[in-house]
Chains A and B, each alone.
Chain A
Amino acid sequence: MSEAIVSLRNVDKRYIRGKQSVEVLQGLSLDIAKGEFVALMGPSGSGKTTLLNLIGGLDNATAGEITVAGERLDKLGSGALARWRARHVGFVFQFYNLMPMLTAQRNVELPLLLTNLSGAQRKANALAALTLVGIADRAKHKPNELSGGQAQRVAIARALVADPTLLVCDEPTGDLDRKSADEVLHLLQILNRDHGKTIVMVTHDPKAAEFASRQLHMDKGALLEAGTLAA
Chain B
Amino acid sequence: MFKQLIAALSMGLQTLPQRLGASSVIVIGIAGVVAVLVSVLAMGAGFKHTLADSGRADRAIILRGGSDAELNSSLTRADIDTISNAPGLAKDSSGKALLSNELVIVVNVPKADTGTDANVTLRGVGLKLTEVRPELRIVNGRMFHPAVRELIAGAGAVKQFRGLTAGSMLHLRNADWIVTGVFTSNGDVHESELLADVDTVGSSVERTGYSSAIALLTGPVDFTRFKDALTTDPQLKVDVQREPEYYAAQSKPLTKAINVVGTTVAIIMAIGAMFGALNSMYSAVAARGLEIATLRAIGFGALPVLLSVMIEALLLSLLGGVIGASLAWLFFNGHSVSTLGGAFAQVVFQLTVTRTLIITGIIWACLIGLLGGFFPALRAARLPVAEALRAA
A95 contacts the other chain (Cβ, under 8 Å)?
Answer: yes
Say yes or no: A114 contacts B300, CB within 8 Å. yes
Say yes or no: A85 contacts B392, CB within 8 Å. no
Interface string of A87-98 (1 = CB under 8 A from B): 100010101010
A59 contacts the other chain (Cβ, under 8 Å)?
Answer: yes
Q: Which of B7, B291, B298, B386 contacts A53 (CB 8 A)?
A: B386
Which A residues are in CB contact (< 8 Å) with B297? 56, 58, 85, 91, 97
How many angstroms from the CA of A39 to the CA of B47 in the assembled complex? 78
Say yes or no: A58 contacts B389, CB within 8 Å. yes
Which B residues are in CB contact (< 8 Å) with A86? 298-299
Say yes or no: A82 contacts B296, CB within 8 Å. yes
Question: Which one of B4, B15, B290, B298 has the greatest number of beta carbons of chain A within 10 Å?
Answer: B298
Say yes or no: A93 contacts B298, CB within 8 Å. no
Question: Which one of A78, A87, A95, A102 has the greatest number of beta carbons of chain B within 10 Å?
Answer: A78
Say yes or no: B14 contacts A101, CB within 8 Å. yes
B295 contacts the other chain (Cβ, under 8 Å)?
Answer: yes
Say yes or no: A113 contacts B11, CB within 8 Å. no
The bracket for how many chain B residues form the interface is 20 to 34
Q: Which of B14, B294, B384, B386 contacts A97 (CB 8 A)?
A: B294
Say yes or no: A93 contacts B294, CB within 8 Å. yes
B355 contacts the other chain (Cβ, under 8 Å)?
Answer: no
Say yes or no: B302 contacts A79, CB within 8 Å. yes
A111 contacts the other chain (Cβ, under 8 Å)?
Answer: yes
Q: Which of B7, B298, B302, B390 contacts A91 (CB 8 A)?
A: B298
A83 contacts the other chain (Cβ, under 8 Å)?
Answer: yes
Which A residues are in CB contact (< 8 Å) with B11? 99, 101-102
| Total A residues in contact with B, Cβ cutoff 8 Å | 26
Which B residues are in CB contact (< 8 Å) with A99? 11, 291, 294
B1-38 interface with A by 8 A CB criterion: 3-4, 7, 11, 14-15
A49 contacts the other chain (Cβ, under 8 Å)?
Answer: yes
Interface string of A108-128 (1 = CB under 8 A from B): 001101100000000000000
Say yes or no: B7 contacts A110, CB within 8 Å. yes
Which A residues are in CB contact (< 8 Å) with B385? 58-59
How many angstroms from the CA of A83 to the CA of B299 in the assembled complex? 6
Q: Which of A50, A78, A97 contacts B302 (CB 8 A)?
A: A78
B301 contacts the other chain (Cβ, under 8 Å)?
Answer: yes
Say yes or no: B294 contacts A82, CB within 8 Å. no
Nearest-neighbor residue (CB-CB) of A114 within chain B: B299
Shortest Cβ distance from A6 into chain B, in angstroms? 17
Which A residues are in CB contact (< 8 Å) with B3? 113-114
Nearest-neighbor residue (CB-CB) of B382 within chain A: A78
A139-165 interface with B by 8 A CB criterion: 158
How many angstroms from the CA of A110 to the CA of B11 in the assembled complex? 11
Interface string of B348-392 (1 = CB under 8 A from A): 000000000000000000000000000000000000111001101
How many angstroms from the CA of A183 to the CA of B142 in the assembled complex? 97
Say yes or no: B386 contacts A79, CB within 8 Å. no
Nearest-neighbor residue (CB-CB) of B296 within chain A: A82
Nearest-neighbor residue (CB-CB) of B14 within chain A: A101
Nearest-neighbor residue (CB-CB) of A56 within chain B: B297
Which A residues are in CB contact (< 8 Å) with B295? 110
Say yes or no: B4 contacts A114, CB within 8 Å. yes
Which B residues are in CB contact (< 8 Å) with A93? 294, 389
Say yes or no: A111 contacts B298, CB within 8 Å. yes
Shortest Cβ distance from B380 into chain A, in angstroms? 14
Q: Which of B290, B299, B392 contacts A111 (CB 8 A)?
A: B299
Q: Which of B4, B294, B384 contacts A113 (CB 8 A)?
A: B4
Shortest Cβ distance from A80 into chain B, in angstroms? 11
How many angstroms from the CA of A100 to the CA of B287 in the assembled complex? 13
Which A residues are in CB contact (< 8 Å) with B298? 85-86, 91, 110-111, 114, 158
Q: Which of B291, B302, B389 contacts A82 (CB 8 A)?
A: B302
Interface string of B283-297 (1 = CB under 8 A from A): 000000011001111
Shortest Cβ distance from A225 into chain B, in angstroms? 27
| A-B contact list, 18 entries, CB within 8 Å | A56-B297, A58-B297, A59-B384, A59-B385, A79-B301, A79-B302, A82-B299, A85-B297, A86-B299, A87-B299, A91-B297, A95-B392, A97-B297, A97-B389, A99-B291, A102-B11, A110-B298, A113-B7
Enumerate the 3 nearest inter-chain pairs by beta-carbon distance, A residue then B residue, closest first. Answer: A86-B299, A101-B14, A59-B386
**Residues of A at under 8 Å CB distance from B?**
49-50, 53, 56, 58-59, 78-79, 82-83, 85-87, 91, 93, 95, 97, 99-102, 110-111, 113-114, 158
Q: Given A83-B301, A85-B298, A114-B298, list of 13 further CB < 8 A pairs?
A: A58-B385, A59-B386, A82-B300, A91-B297, A99-B291, A99-B294, A101-B15, A110-B298, A111-B299, A113-B3, A113-B7, A114-B4, A114-B300
